[in-house]
Structure 1
Amino acid sequence: MPLYEHVFLARQDLAQAQVDTLAENATKILTENGGKVVKTETWGLKSLAYKIAKNRKAHFVMLDVDAPAPAIAELERQTNINEDVIRFMTIRVDEHENGPSAMMKRGDRDRDRDRDRDRGPRGGGRGRDEDGE
């Protein structure tokens, strides 16, 4: 069966339990139509680059899916109807990533950067060389 990645953005005012329920519903739709979800990643509440349907933030969820095309069509149809989902995208991939996705790895890098920022400035100068340039 073809492999897909399905990412959806849920409204910012939903609780994490409601977002998890949306992911479970997507999994249920796919399994009922002969597919399976290989991996589910919840990326959390993130800021959007611009407002979407009056939302400045959204809960991001990604599903790695192994399913036939009709199952994906049904998932997209029902996702389009759901008012809690503000955007979604499904792409076909040659293979799924092993381990965490780039967004999950990025979260670790952001935490490291925040930790380093809390330590204070690096170096001990004014930011210029001794000639003042």
Structure 2
Amino acid sequence: MAYYESIFIVRPDLTTEQVDQVAARVAEIITANGGTILLHELWGRRQLAYPLKKNTKGYYVFNLVEGGGALIANLESRLMIDEDVLKFQNIRVKSANLNPSPLAPSAERAAEESERLLPGDEGYGEPDEEYGEDEEEEELEV
């Protein structure tokens, strides 16, 4: 069996649950055609390099797949039909690298993003304590 890296971009107007449903449909196609998913990563919503079907952002999904050529042919034909998928690419690799990719969200990064304040949250837009507004500038003597 051969190893393939499969990356596809999903429409940005979908919710996270809908993106998971699209990824589940892809996983079902892979297993139905005799393949196995060795690694699955949701890279999140990212800016696209150029507009695709009038979209400037999209959800990136990465799968490391073990299977044959017929599996990839069936997967690509199904991804072409799927309206939620903007673009996809399947690449054959020599060996399976099961380490998380650099684009995969780490636990530390996820914790930082959850701590970040959004507009409408309490404390958003307030000055930091170390940079108080009442500090006076020192005048320089000439």
Give the TM-score taking structure 1 as reference length: 0.77
SS at match of 1:103: coil
- Aligned equivalents of 1:101 and 1:4: distance in 2? 14
5+ residue gaps in structure 2? 113-142
1:11-42 CA distance string (max 9 Å, x none): 11011111111111111111111111111100
Give the corresponding residue for 1:48: 48
Aligned-residue offset at 1:96: 2.1
SS at match of 1:28: helix
1:23-73 CA distance string (max 9 Å, x none): 111111111111111111000000111111110100000000001111111
Paired AA for residue 11 in structure 2: R
5+ residue gaps in structure 1? 112-133
Q: Which protein shows a greater Rg?
A: 2
Give the corresponding residue for 2:128: none
Aligned-residue offset at 1:105: 6.9
Structure 1 residue ranges (4+ consecutive) displaced by more than 6 angstroms after TM superposition: 105-109
Query: Cα RMSD over matched residues?
Result: 2.3
More helix per residue: 1 or 2? 1
- Aligned equivalents of 1:89 and 1:106: distance in 2? 24
The 8 Å contact of residues 4 and 90 in structure 2, kept in 1 or not, is answered as yes
Aligned residue-pair number: 114
